[in-house]
C-alpha cells in the first residue's frame, strides 16, 4: 500500500501544508485508491465554501474493505466485536466484512435506495451498525447515524432534517443496568416526524424482540435474499455522511462530510498522529453515534488496513471494572483512544490501578484522549500507571480529525500537561481577541482557524449553507470559529480551556444547554429558566437547571423539579444527564435582560469572578450563591 513518504519533520510538513496546500494534499492523496486520481487539491471557486479534490473520483468502501482484500489482506481481521453486556465476541476478516457489507448494500439497493439518498442508522454498538454505514458508502448513499442515548424527539428532528429514504435500527441497545428497547423509540420518533421513510430494516436482538409493522423488514430475512453489490465510484466532493451535533440552539446542525477529503485526511491522521499502521489493532472506546466512532472506530482504521475493536458496553464499571485492560490484552491493542472521563472512572474505581496487574498490556504503545479537556491530574495518573505516552488531541464533530495534536507518527513532541500540543497540517490556528486581532502568546482568546479548513472537515451544514456561514464563519472575517476558548504559549503549544458558547461536554458527550432550556421552558409552570454546565469530578461537566416558577402556583416546587428532570430525560434522552433542577426566586440578568449564565457557572464552580458591570440587580446573584455553591 502506498503511503506518501515522510521527508520532513513536523515543522516542515506543517509549513508546507499552509504554504503549498496543493502539493501537500496531493501527496497525501497518494495513500488512497482513486478511480480517477485528482489533479487539483483545493477548489476555492465558491469561497467561503471550499471543496477538496474536485476532479477526483473514488469509493470510500472500496478503500476501507475491497482494496485490502485485493491486496492480500482478506484473511486479516478487520473488526473484532467484544460485547461483555451480551457475553459475545465475534470477529470479521476483511473478506467477511466486505461480503456482509456488499450484501447489505444489496438490501438497500433492492429497497430503492439510490446514490445521494439518506439512510438514518439508529443502532447500538453492534457490527451491523458498521455494516450499514459501509453499505451506504458502497454506492454513494449518505448515512446519518443517530446516537442510541437520544430520545424519540431528537431522533425525529434528525429524521425531518435528513429526510431519509430508509431507517436501519436494532430492536434494542444494552446498558449495564437495563435493556433499552430502540424500536418503540423509533416508532415514537416516526409518529412525531413529518417526514416518513419508506422502510425500516430492523436487526432483531435476542434480548428484546421488536414488534414489526407494515413498513418494517427483518435484517436477517432481507440479507438472506439480497444480491451483493459492488463499489460505485462517486465524486470526491459527494457527501459520505451527515452527523448531527449540538450547537447553541435546540436545532442540531447536520455536519456534512465528503468522500475524498475525508479518506485522505483520516488516512494521514492514523499514521501521522496516532502512529498506527496497517495490520495493527486500534481501539476507539467511544460509540459509532459520535464523531470519534465514525472516524476512529470505522473509517480511519479500515482505510489504513488495521483491525478495529468494536466494544459494546462501558469500558469501566459493571460488569468488569478492568475491562479496558482486559480488551487491550486480549486483542493485542496497540493504540487506545477514549475520553478522559473513562480514565477518571477507572481511577475512581481502582485508584491504585491494581486491576491492571491481571493483564498483559504490553502491546499498548499509546493512550490517546479527546472529547473534553484532559485535566493534568488524569494525565499524570494515566501516564504513571501505563508507562506509555498519554496523548491529548483536540478536535470536534465539524472537523472530523484532530485540529491540535501531538503527531506521534510524524515527530513526537515533548508532552505538556494541559495542552493537546500543536496544530495539525492545514489548520492555521489563531487565538483572536475581542476585536478579531491575533492575541499575543499567553493571552486568552477565541480559538479560530483561518480559512480554508483542510480536507476531511465539514463541507457545510446539511442543506443550509447560510446557516453554516452564519454559525461558523461570520464572527471573524476569513476564520472558522471553533466555539472554544484558549491560548498559545511561546512554543506554539495550544491550550484549549473550554467552550465560549452554550455547548457543554458531559462524559465526553456534546450537549446543548439551549436544547435543555427549551424543554424546561415548555413546562406549563415555568416562567423562565437557565441551564449551566458545572464542573463534575467524573464527567467533566454536568448540567444544572435553575427555574423561576409562574406566580400564584399551588404546587410543591419539588414535584415540579422532579417533573422537569424527567422531561429532559424523555425529550432529549438519558445521555443529557440533567439530574438537578433548583427552583429559585429570580435569575441574574444584565440590564438588557440577558441571563448571566457564565457568572452562575463560575460561582457554582467555586471561582470568585467579579460580577459583570452590566448586571441589573446584584442582590439576585447574592441570593443564588448558596444554591449554586451547594454540593451536587
Ligand atoms: N443508549 C441508551 N442509553 C444510553 C446510551 C445509549 N447508547 N449511552 C448512555 N446512555 C445512558 C446511560 O445508561 C445513563 O443512563 P442512566 O441515567 O439511567 O444511568 C445516561 O445515558 C448517562 O450516560 P453516561 O453519561 O455515559 O454516564 P454513565 O454514568 O452511564 O457512564 C462513563 C459514565 C464515564 C463510564 C461513560 O460515559 C464512558 O464510558 N465514557 C467513555 C467515553 C465515551 O464514550 N466518550 C464519547 C466520545 S469519545
Ligand atoms: P464533539 O464535537 O462532540 O467532538 O465535541 C467537540 C468539543 O469537545 C470541542 O469543541 C471542545 O470543546 C471539546 N473537546 C474535544 N476534545 C478536547 C480536548 N482534547 N481538549 C479540550 N476540549 C476538547
pLDDT score for 5? 44
Q: Residue 38 in contact with residue 260, Cβ under 8 Å?
A: yes
Strand pairing report for 253-258 and 307-311: unpaired
- Strand pairing partners for 49? 46
How many Å apart are CA 162 and CA 548, to the nearest integer?
A: 36
Which alpha helices (DSSP H) does 73-181 contain, by range? 94-110, 127-138, 152-162
Encode pLDDT of 193-239 as tens digits.
999 999 999 999 999 999 999 999 999 999 999 999 999 999 999 99
Percent residues over pLDDT 90 in the chain: 89
Dihedral, 534, 535, 540, 542 alpha carbons, nearest 10: -30
Question: What does the pLDDT read at residue 632?
Answer: 45
Residue nearest to atom 10 of ligand 2 (CA): 396
In terms of domains, do 542 and 484 share one?
no
Query: Where among 458, 488, 518 does a domain terminate?
Result: 488
Residue 501: the pLDDT is: 86
| 422 occurs within a structural domain | yes
CA of 370 from ligand 2 middle (Å) equals 7
CB 347 within 8 Å of CB 377: no
Burial annotation 264-296 (CB, 10 A radius, 16+ → b, else e): bbbbbbbbbbbbbbbebbbbbbbbbbbbbbbbb
Q: Are both 473 and 561 inside the same structural domain?
A: no
**Cell 490484552, located at residue:** 329
421/516 same-domain check: no
Query: Within a domain: residue 357?
Result: no
Instruction: Please report which confidence band the pLDDT of residue 425 belongs to, taking 50, 70 and 90 as the band edges.
Output: very high
**Ligand nearest to the CA of residue 345, numbered in listed order:** 1
In this prediction, residue 1 carries a pLDDT of: 46
Q: Which ligand is nearest to the CA of 500?
A: 2
* pLDDT score for 609: 77
Residues 148, 257 within the same domain: yes
Per-residue pLDDT at 61: 98
- Ligand 1 centroid distance, CA of 575 (Å): 6
From 169, 314, 565, the mutation candidate for ligand 1 (largest count of ligand atoms within 8 A of CB) is 314
Which range, of 369-373, 417-421, 491-495, 628-632, averages the lowest pLDDT? Answer: 628-632
Query: Residues 412, 404: contact at Cβ < 8 Å?
Result: no
Upper half-sphere CA count for residue 477 (Cβ side, 13 Å) = 2
Q: Is 338 in the pocket of ligand 1 (CB under 6 A)?
A: yes
Of 398, 438, 396, nearest in space to 420 by CA: 396
Overall pTM surpassing 0.85 (yes/no): yes
Q: What is the pLDDT of residue 315?
A: 80
Which residues form the domain of 226? 10-313+395-488
Taking CA atoms only, the protein residue closest to ligand 2 atom 9 is 396
Examine residue 104 and state whether it is found in any structural domain, yes or no: yes
Mark whether 470 and 511 lie in a shared domain. Answer: no
- Whether residue 353 lies inside any domain: the answer is no
Q: Which atom of ligand 1 is nearest to the CA of 341?
A: 34
Q: Is the minimum distance from the CB of 180 to ligand 1 under 6 angstroms?
A: yes
Total domains present in the chain: 2
Q: pLDDT tens across 580-619, in order?
A: 999 999 999 988 888 999 899 999 988 877 888 888 999 9
What is the whole-number distance in angstroms between the Cα of residue 484 and the centre of ligand 2? 8
Residue 249 resides in a domain: yes
Per-residue pLDDT tens digits for 526-543: 999 999 999 999 999 999
pLDDT tens digits for range 268-294: 999 999 999 999 999 999 999 999 999
Rg, C-alpha atoms of the chain: 24
Residue 3 has a pLDDT of: 47
pLDDT of residue 319: 66
Q: What average pLDDT does the segment 366-373 reach? A: 96
pLDDT surpasses 70 at 265: yes
Whether 298 and 192 map to the same domain: the answer is yes
Please indicate, yes or no, whether residues 465 and 584 belong to a single structural domain of this protein.
Answer: no
CA geometry: angle at 15 spanning 11 and 21, to 5°? Answer: 140
Which numbered ligand comes closest to the C-alpha of 324? 1
CA distances 199 to 168, 169, 186, Å, are: 9, 11, 12
Res. 418: pLDDT tops 60: yes
In a mutational test of the pocket of ligand 1, which residue from 309, 320, 341, 543 has the highest number of ligand atoms less than 8 Å from its CB? Answer: 341
Grid cell digits, residue 350: 481502582
pLDDT greater than 50 at residue 385 = yes
Res 594: pLDDT = 87
C-alpha grid cell, residue 308: 478495529
Residue 8's pLDDT is 76
- The separation between CA 59 and the C-alpha centre of its own chain, rounded to angstroms, equals 23
pLDDT, one tens digit per residue, over 54-113 is 999 999 999 999 999 999 999 999 999 999 999 999 999 999 999 999 999 999 999 999
One domain for residues 225 and 82: yes
- 588: CATH: 3.30.300.30
Residue 631: predicted pLDDT: 55
**Structure confidence at residue 355 (pLDDT):** 93
To test the ligand 2 pocket, which listed residue (273, 286, 338, 371) has its Cβ within 8 A of the most ligand atoms? Answer: 371
If asked whether residues 417 and 484 sit together in one domain, one would say yes
Could you tell me what percent of the chain has a pLDDT over 70?
98
Nearest ligand 2 atom, CA 482: 10
Atom index in ligand 1 nearest the CA of residue 175 equals: 13
Atom of ligand 2 at shortest distance to CA of 503? 12
Residue 554 lies in a domain: yes
Greatest mean pLDDT among 184-188, 311-315, 611-615 lies in 184-188
The mean pLDDT value for 439-458 works out to 97
The mean of the pLDDT values for the chain is 94
- Regarding the beta carbon of 149 and ligand 1, being less than 6 Å apart is answered yes
Q: Which residues contact 255 (CB under 8 A, 6 or more apart)?
A: 242, 243, 244, 245, 291, 397, 398, 458, 461, 462
CA 145 to ligand 1 center in whole angstroms:
17
Q: Are residues 484 and 512 in the same domain?
A: no
Rounded average pLDDT over 254-279: 98
- Spatial contact of 55 and 40, defined as CB atoms under 8 Å apart: yes
Closest ligand relative to 348 C-alpha? 1
Q: Are residues 475 and 548 in the same domain?
A: no
> What is the number of the ligand closest to the CA of 401?
2
- Measured from the alpha carbon of residue 395, the closest ligand is 2
Mutation pick for ligand 1 pocket among 574, 578, 579 (CB with most ligand atoms within 8 Å): 574
Q: Which residues sit opposite 535 in a β-bridge?
A: 541
Phi (first) and psi of residue 540, to 5 degrees? 85, -60
Residue 371 falls inside a structural domain: no
- Average pLDDT of 464-474? 96
Of the given ranges (2-11, 123-132, 252-261, 586-595), which has the lowest mean pLDDT? 2-11
Instruction: Describe the chain by its helix, strand, coil percentages, rounded to 5.
Output: 35, 25, 40
Asked which of 455, 488, 521 is the last residue of a domain, the reply is 488
Strand partners, 282: 308, 335
Q: Is the pLDDT at 423 greater than 90, yes or no? A: yes
Spatial contact of 250 and 518, defined as CB atoms under 8 Å apart: yes
State yes or no: pLDDT of 629 exceeds 90. Answer: no
Same domain flag for 545 and 430:
no
The protein residue whose alpha carbon is closest to atom 38 in ligand 1 is 342
Alpha-carbon dihedral sign for residues 79, 84, 85, 87 = positive
Which of 565, 503, 526 minimizes the C-alpha distance to 372?
503
Which residues approach ligand 2 with their CB closer than 6 A?
Answer: 245, 290-291, 370-374, 392-394, 396-397, 420, 482-484, 496, 499, 505, 510
Looking at 427, 458, 488, which one is the last position of a domain? 488
CATH of the domain at 54: 3.40.50.12780
Amino acid at each position: 500500500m502506498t503511503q506518501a513518504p515522510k521527508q520532513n519533520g513536523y515543522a516542515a510538513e506543517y509549513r508546507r501544508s499552509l504554504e503549498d496546500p496543493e502539493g501537500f494534499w496531493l501527496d497525501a492523496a497518494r495513500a488512497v485508491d482513486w478511480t480517477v486520481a485528482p489533479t487539483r487539491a483545493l477548489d476555492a471557486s465558491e469561497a467561503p465554501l471550499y471543496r477538496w479534490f474536485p476532479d477526483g473520483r473514488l469509493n470510500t468502501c472500496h478503500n476501507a474493505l475491497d482494496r485490502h482484500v485485493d491486496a492480500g489482506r482478506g484473511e486479516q481481521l478487520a473488526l473484532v466485536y467484544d460485547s461483555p453486556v451480551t457475553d459475545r465476541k465475534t470477529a470479521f476478516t476483511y473478506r467477511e466484512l466486505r461480503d456482509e457489507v456488499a450484501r447489505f448494500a444489496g438490501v438497500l439497493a433492492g429497497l430503492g435506495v439510490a446514490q445521494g439518498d439518506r439512510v438514518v442508522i439508529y443502532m447500538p454498538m453492534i457490527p451491523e451498525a458498521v455494516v450499514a454505514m459501509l453499505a451506504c458508502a458502497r454506492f454513494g448513499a449518505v448515512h446519518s447515524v443517530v446516537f442510541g442515548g437520544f430520545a424519540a424527539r431528537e431522533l425525529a428532528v434528525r429524521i425531518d432534517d435528513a429526510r431519509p429514504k430508509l431507517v436501519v435500527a436494532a430492536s434494542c441497545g444494552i446498558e449495564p443496568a437495563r435493556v433499552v428497547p430502540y424500536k418503540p423509540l423509533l416508532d415514537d420518533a416516526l409518529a412525531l416526524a413529518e417526514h416518513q421513510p419508506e422502510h425500516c430494516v430492523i436487526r432483531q436482538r435476542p434480548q428484546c424482540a421488536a414488534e414489526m409493522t407494515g413498513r418494517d423488514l427483518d435484517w436477517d430475512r432481507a440479507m438472506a435474499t439480497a444480491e451483493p453489490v459492488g463499489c460505485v465510484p462517486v465524486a470526491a466532493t459527494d457527501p459520505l455522511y451527515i452527523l448531527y451535533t449540538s450547537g447553541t440552539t435546540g436545532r442540531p446542525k447536520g455536519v456534512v462530510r465528503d468522500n475524498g477529503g475525508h479518506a485522505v485526511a483520516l488516512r494521514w491522521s492514523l499514521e501521522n498522529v496516532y502512529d498506527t499502521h496497517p495490520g495493527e489493532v486500534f481501539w476507539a472506546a467511544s460509540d459509532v453515534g459520535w464523531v470519534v466512532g465514525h472516524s476512529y472506530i470505522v473509517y480511519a482504521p479500515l482505510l489504513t488496513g488495521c483491525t478495529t475493536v468494536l466494544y459494546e458496553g462501558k469500558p469501566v464499571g459493571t460488569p468488569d471494572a478492568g475491562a479496558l485492560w482486559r480488551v487491550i490484552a486480549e486483542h493485542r491493542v496497540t493504540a487506545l483512544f477514549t475520553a478522559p472521563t473513562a480514565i477518571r472512572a477507572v481511577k475512581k474505581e481502582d485508584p491504585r490501578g491494581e486491576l491492571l496487574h491481571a493483564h498483559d498490556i504490553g502491546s499498548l504503545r499509546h493512550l490517546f484522549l479527546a472529547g473534553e479537556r484532559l485535566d493534568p491530574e488524569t494525565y499524570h495518573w494515566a501516564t504513571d500507571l501505563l508507562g506509555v505516552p498519554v496523548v491529548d488531541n483536540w478536535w470536534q464533530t465539524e472537523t472530523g480529525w484532530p485540529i491540535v495534536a501531538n503527531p506521534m507518527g510524524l515527530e513526537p513532541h515533548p508532552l505538556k500537561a494541559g495542552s493537546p500540543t500543536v496544530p495539525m497540517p492545514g489548520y492555521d490556528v489563531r487565538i483572536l481577541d475581542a476585536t478579531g486581532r491575533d492575541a499575543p502568546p499567553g493571552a486568552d482568546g477565541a480559538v479560530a482557524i483561518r480559512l480554508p479548513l483542510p480536507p476531511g472537515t465539514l463541507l457545510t451544514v446539511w442543506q443550509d449553507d447560510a446557516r453554516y456561514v452564519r454559525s461558523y464563519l461570520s464572527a471573524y472575517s476569513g476564520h472558522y470559529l471553533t466555539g472554544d476558548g484558549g491560548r498559545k504559549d511561546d512554543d506554539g503549544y495550544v491550550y484549549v480551556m473550554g467552550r465560549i458558547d452554550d455547548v457543554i461536554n458531559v462524559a465526553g458527550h456534546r450537549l446543548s444547554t439551549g436544547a435543555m432550556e427549551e424543554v424546561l421552558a415548555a413546562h406549563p409552570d415555568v416562567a423562565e429558566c437557565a441551564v449551566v454546565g458545572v464542573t463534575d469530578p467524573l464527567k467533566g461537566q454536568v448540567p444544572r437547571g435553575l427555574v423561576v416558577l409562574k406566580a400564584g402556583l399551588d404546587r410543591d416546587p419539588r414535584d415540579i423539579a422532579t417533573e422537569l428532570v424527567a422531561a429532559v430525560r424523555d425529550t432529549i434522552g438519558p445521555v443529557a444527564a440533567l439530574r438537578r433542577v433548583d427552583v429559585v426566586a429570580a435569575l441574574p440578568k444584565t440590564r438588557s435582560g440577558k441571563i448571566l449564565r457564565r457568572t452562575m457557572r463560575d460561582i457554582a464552580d467555586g471561582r470568585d469572578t467579579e460580577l459583570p458591570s452590566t448586571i441589573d440587580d446584584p442582590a439576585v446573584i447574592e441570593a443564588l450563591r448558596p444554591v449554586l455553591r451547594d454540593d451536587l
